[in-house]
Amino acid sequence: MDTIKAVFDYTLKEHLRHKAWLSAALFGVALLAGGLVASALGQEERGRLMLDLGLAANEALAMVSAVFLTVHLVLQEIESRAIFLILTHPVARWQYLLGRWLGTVAAVGLAMAGMGAAHLLALQAFGGAPLLPYLGVLGLAFAKTAVMAALALLLSLALTSEAAAMAFSGFFFVLGHFAPELRFLAEKSGSVPVRTVMVAFSHAAPDFSRLTPREAWSGGLPDPAWFALAFLYAAAYAAACLALSTQVFEQKEF
């Protein structure tokens, strides 16, 4: 545990000093301000526009930051040979990966919390937003970001190319939002085997449509049990990606 905490601490400190992270946070505040202006076009729906644009900006920036930081996370240390120094210490590879991932997710989570606080303040001008539902959907966005970071880590280790890992992360991100479409196509299919395979695949692929904050909020907020299932889903999916990352990482020889 202490080992993981040590890796987590140095990863978090590294990211907090990272210029890309800081500029993303500043950019997020700028986007929120832009949303404030753009929402004026929505007339009676100004509050809704402000809420949607702010949540979308927060999530998009968190997602980009998480993928960008995670893809560089281990590959850069391999390239700069810094990994030799770390692995000569009594650090198991899974502990190293878990600590690195947790540190990155925590750094992105802090940025999301900052942007969320700024967003909530801005929303006060339009009658405010209920705090608990807001925190719930922000939590979903965070869970989605954490899954995406785990997936990007797995891809970076498996593909060993930053560009390819980023491209595939984008592919999986879009695929993740297609899960309901896959189930829709399965329903339309007349063939039972095709339908079974498609439904199975839609549940095996990351299903980001469930972790999309605004869509969870629309039409009434789900009950707490649903939220618990959503967080369990995200935790299990991230764990699967981290376990596979460990498998790939353990096969690497330094």
Site of interaction with another protein (CB under 8 A): 41-45, 48-49, 52-53, 55-56, 59, 94, 173-174, 176-178, 180-181, 183-184, 203-204, 207-210, 212, 214-215, 218-220, 222-223, 225-226, 229-230, 232-233, 236-237, 239-241, 243-244, 246-247, 250
Which tokens go with 125? 């001008």
161: left (phi over 0), alpha (psi -120 to 50) or beta: beta
Which stretches of 80-176 are DSSP H helices?
82-87, 93-123, 131-159, 162-176
* Residue 160 vs 247, nearer CB to another protein: 247
CB of 150 to another protein, least distance (A): 10
* Residue 79 vs 184, nearer CB to another protein: 184
* Residue 100 vs 183, nearer CB to another protein: 183
Which tokens go with 99? 């600590």
Give the H or E element holding residue 206: none
* Residue 56 vs 78, nearer CB to another protein: 56
* Residue 12 vs 182, nearer CB to another protein: 182
Q: Closest Cα partner for 204 from 231, 181, 185, 176? A: 176
Q: Closest Cα partner for 232 from 215, 210, 201, 200? A: 210
CB of 179 to another protein, least distance (A): 8
* Residue 12 vs 98, nearer CB to another protein: 98
CB of 209 to another protein, least distance (A): 7
CB of 145 to another protein, least distance (A): 12
Three-state DSSP at 160 gives coil
CA dihedral 218, 222, 228, 233 (to 10 degrees): -50
CB of 52 to another protein, least distance (A): 5
CB of 19 to another protein, least distance (A): 26
Output the CA–CA distances (angstroms, integers) from residue 158 to 46, 148, 240, in the order listed: 45, 15, 14
Q: Closest Cα partner for 241 from 178, 156, 166? A: 156
Give me the residue label for tokens 């540190």: 103
